[in-house]
Structure 1
Amino acid sequence: MLEGGEKGGEKQRRNGEEEEVVQGGERGGERQRRDGEEEEEDGEIFLDTSHFLKDTPSFSQPVENVTANVGSTASLTCVVEELGHYKVAWGYKGTGAVLTVGTRVITNNPRITVHRHHPTTWVLTITHTTLQDQGGYWCQVNTTPPRSTTGYLTVVEPPVLEGGDEEAVVHKGDTVNLTCRAHGTPTPTVRWIRDDHHTLTLAPGHSVGEVVGSGLVLEEVTPDSGGGYLCIATNGHPPSVSRRIHLIIHHPPELTAARAVVWAPLGSSTSLSCLYAAQPSPKVTWRRETSGGLFTLLPQHTFTITPHAHPPHTHNTTLHLTNLGPADFGLYTCTLVNHLGTAEARILLKGVRQQTSGAPALPTPTGTLLTLLALSMVWIAARCEFKTGVAMYDFKTGMARCDFKSGVERCDEWPDVILIRTGIYTCGVADY
């Protein structure tokens, strides 16, 4: 009985254990299903894996590329979500060196720092950037395997020109080589222009608006070649820079009289002018011819020198004469001298008066004497009207025209008399 009872008890215990195991298994299966949230609907099994990805670091955006000028500060930003207990490191792709881990700087480079601006944002900063800093920088999280994203730092250098503004002195007819050297990243482009916006005369008969290159060659330069030349360097990264070279062409004086003959009434005032160009600046003198072919040097206060912006001349020297008397009429000479040569121009000053009552009894003008002076055109003309026609003399060309009803004739002699048909008629102009 005891034995059988014991066996029966054992069986009951075994049955109870089995039942407990089964029940436990069922409960375990329920726990597994709850943990895995495994459900079966219409023969399909859906598995929610979100709990596997929970707290897994990820990059919400790639590291953006950055461009910085030499000497400036560059910053690269890395945004990591769900970092958890992991750490963020920065490194340089060119050498593979780790620069920072977390907020700690590993490299010995004092220009590099790292900051956590936000729980998800890590910023690597490089100050006083150099061309050697250019390259890829990776942001890495120490997962297994590690996850990383890379941004690229481009370092540029705006153009820099060697040397400053300068002057270059050459002689007329020389060949000139102007040089302008620039550096930068990327390599700058250099172009040449004139600062007065005139064309560049590279050789006689060959002119262009601009020249690209570090060198500018000018062949057989003339005084017109003188002036400012600009070399301008650009590489797409402001600012552009320029350098000015002032080219000075040494040459002998080049001179011309504004008018070869000037007419003025007795007692009036007038001016005699010479236009010139010379380099270096010449010594200017004026003199008047006196009796016997001698000349009298005129005081310096009687004439002026002013700029003249009408090539090929650059200056104007003007002699001022007032209250003209008979001795003031005659031949005047302006003279220019520099160490390369001498130039002279002569101007004849003549007197003008109207016909007097004591003149021969000849047909008299119906009009009056007109003396026209146009400084911009530098010519004088006298016009006399007669009953038989019109006589005109152009003092610039030295030519007289006599216009009559019967046609046009050229007068051979002037200014004392004009030959008209078979008679002699004065025109109110005479020498003193």
Structure 2
Amino acid sequence: MEGYIMFFLLVTVSAIHIPTSVIEPSVDEVYVTEGDTATLVCSVTWPGRLIVIWTRVSDGNPLTIGTLVYTYDERISIQHSRKNDWNLLIRNVKLYDAGKYVCQVNGKGIFATGTVLLKVNVSAIPIPTPAFKPSAEEVYVTEGDTATLVCSVKWPGRLFVIWIRNFGVQLLTVEESVVIPDSRISIQHATGANDWNLVIKDVKPDDAGKYVCEVYGYSIRKMVLLQVNAVNESIHFIKTPSDVWVKKGQFARFECAATGRSTPTISWSKDDADDFPAAQERRMHKMSDSDEFFIMDVTVNDAGVYTCTATNADGSISTDVNLFVSYDGEDAKST
């Protein structure tokens, strides 16, 4: 009797792990403002070779396949800086770009899709605001002079402009009206223009400081620093003579005046001497009720440097002026 021995071969097939999540989770909705760049993320996890396709649901035609762009829209490109990233970029986004986009993954034994909703916000229309035209931020004047602090605004319509001192401590002007009892202050403003210059006459040392021009309602401000060069109060000139050109036989006129704690007296000399030809010949006249000094019937010997000296109890100060005399036939500047 024949016998049989049977062998059974049992083979266990190892389970192959098939990834269930090929497209990693990313933002399902992307919000951008019109004109910005939209980045639609598609990050793929798969060990083998894949083909990634981007399409737009509304038309179904591929926008990109792999790294190739299949649209004539130059704003669209693929960002593939890392192995698994296949991000769709849309530059200068328009309102009509809004909608659903699909990232489709094709490979051997694998097919997966991911959808991203692109939402586009209408770009905010910038609201124009006034702007200051360039002007000096520091103004230097000498005591007694006039200071002009410029505030010129770029704006097509009418503005409500105020000047304040030391950032709101003291309100000076509202539009063209001066609101403090100081007659030295005024506003320089031309009708139809947006120049609102603050003018301060007869500047005092106490006027030095920070002044602010503010366009009310827009909260924009321009600061101007006023610097005042103080004059020695004991004595200083308020009028200084200018050079004079005359012809022989004409008269020459000079002006010179000073002020101080006590009233100064004015004296004249020529070439550092008090006894000069016009004085000797009594052709020199100083008007007692004015600041004028005359030399009548000028001769060539009168030409030279004249000195005006102001003197009071605090001391004296001097200033020089030239007298030029031309002969007959020579040009001379009239006084």
TM range (shorter): 0.3 to 0.5
The structure with higher relative contact order (CA 8 Å, sep 6+) is: 2
Greater Cα radius of gyration, structure 1 or 2 = 1
More helix by share: 1
TM-score (normalizing by structure 2): 0.38
More strand by share: 1
TM-score (normalizing by structure 1): 0.31
